[in-house]
Structure 1
């Protein structure tokens, strides 16, 4: 796992976006200056389940991030559930891109 702040090259206001990677692919991100939400990769089933269950879930700022969720912290989603979702995001990306590297 690695972490970078890759979006500052697009605009200085994005310098504080910390992105977590596995196998060189993003699975989670957070704004270090405004730690009020976390965004992470998911899948259709989990997006539907989590969105129905928690009001803390919103769509990511970038609408092109189809399989991502943003969760507002300190609302109705527990820390343990958020940790679980981030861990699942890591596993989703790791599994997907481990298969890709094996076939190359």
Structure 2
């Protein structure tokens, strides 16, 4: 997997921004690049050690992936219940990693998308 290709893919998902937010907490996290939708993180990578991606997920999906693949790990400083680390040089094909990144994007996007309400126009009955 190529880091620039991965970055372009994430940015192509729509309403995505990127930040390097963790360096202010500890210098060892200066190289963490996070991708956000509506201001909320859905995945992140280490640009100095591009060997994995951490993705937002659901408990059921995390269990599903862990049952089928050995190249998964615990996410860096994130909840084990909501985040999963996918290792690039393992048994998960790049196409599947892109699918899980898209799924992470959808989870976060859908959580923070406000439902549209349609106001019904009521006509007054003629008297």
- Whether TM exceeds 0.5 here: the answer is yes
Residue 31 (structure 1) aligned with residue 46 (structure 2):
yes
Q: CA deviation at 1:68?
A: 0.3
Higher RCO (CA 8 Å, separation ≥ 6 residues): 1
Residue 98 of structure 1 is matched in structure 2 by 113
Q: Map 1:1-104 to 2 at 5 A.
A: 1-99=16-114
Runs of 4+ in 1 over 3 A off after TM superposition: none
Bigger share in helix: 1
CA distance in 2, matches of 1:56, 1:93: 24
The residue that corresponds to 2:120 in the other structure is: none
Considering fraction of residues, name the structure with more strand.
1
TM-score by length of 2: 0.75
Determine if contact 2:52/2:85 at 8 Å carries over to the other structure.
Answer: yes
- 1:41-70 CA distance string (max 9 Å, x none): 001111111010000111112253530000
The alignment of Structure 1 onto Structure 2 pairs a total of residues equal to 102
Structure showing greater radius of gyration is: 2
Q: Deviations over 1:27-51 (max 9, x none)?
A: 0000000001110000111111101
CA RMSD of aligned residues (A): 1.6
Secondary structure (helix, strand or coil) at the match of 1:99 reads: coil
Cα distance in 2 for residues equivalent to 1:71 and 1:58: 7
TM-score normalised to the size of structure 1?
A: 0.91
